[in-house]
């Protein structure tokens, strides 16, 4: 069974944001099915879409897995639930932990459960900057542009990010 290269965005803006993110990374990579290859630095990021909430702590990670996209989605959702994320709530609202699959190899999927690449990633500085820290040359399989070029086209207004010294 082949191994897949996957990029996952990590975020939290409730409770101990750093602990939530670090526990999420550790839980996702707790066995041989998901192996951490690289992780970006953490950033404090301005909320987008639903702005009446605390700033997020965000990062990205590159993992290797033999899981299918759907099985990896099940895994990320199980980790989020285990760390206290409840269903429902305000769309784009506060959350204990958010683990979003951004890229899964160069796979393009559009199903009721999963859209890959992530449908809003190209509009989100808090996703693009951490992925660029790992590898800015990744080409979006639908848009045909590198992650770095997508980041460079964004306007900064409403998407401030601040590097921080937090680490797991």
Q: Which domains occur in the chain, in start order?
A: 4-163 (3.30.70.560)
Active centre residues (catalytic): 85, 95, 98, 100
- Please check whether residue 13 is in contact with residue 47, taking contact to mean a CB–CB distance below 8 angstroms: yes
Model pTM?
Answer: 0.93
Separation between Cα atoms, residue 67 and residue 78, nearest integer Å:
14
Residue-wise pLDDT for 75-130, tens only, equals 999 999 999 877 666 666 688 999 999 999 999 999 999 999 999 999 999 999 99
* 42: phi then psi, degrees, rounded to nearest 5: -90, 150
Residue-wise pLDDT for 2-12, tens only, equals 899 999 999 99
């Amino acid at each position: 069974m082949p191994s897949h290269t996957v990029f996952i965005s990590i975020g939290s803006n409730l409770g101990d944001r750093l602990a939530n993110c670090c526990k999420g990374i550790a839980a996702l990579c707790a066995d041989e099915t998901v192996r951490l290859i690289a992780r970006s630095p953490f950033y404090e990021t301005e909320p987008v879409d639903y702005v009446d909430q605390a700033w997020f702590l965000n990062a990205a990670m590159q993992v290797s897995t033999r899981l299918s996209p759907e099985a990896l989605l099940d895994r990320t959702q199980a980790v989020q639930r285990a760390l206290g994320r409840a269903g429902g709530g305000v769309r784009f609202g506060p959350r204990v932990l958010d683990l979003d699959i951004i890229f899964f190899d160069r796979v393009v999927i559009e199903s009721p459960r999963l859209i890959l690449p992530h449908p809003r990633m190209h509009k989100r500085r808090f996703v693009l900057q951490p992925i660029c820290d790992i590898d800015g040359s990744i080409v979006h399989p639908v848009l045909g542009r590198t992650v770095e070029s997508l980041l460079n086209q964004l306007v900064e207004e409403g998407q401030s990010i601040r590097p921080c010294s937090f680490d797991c």
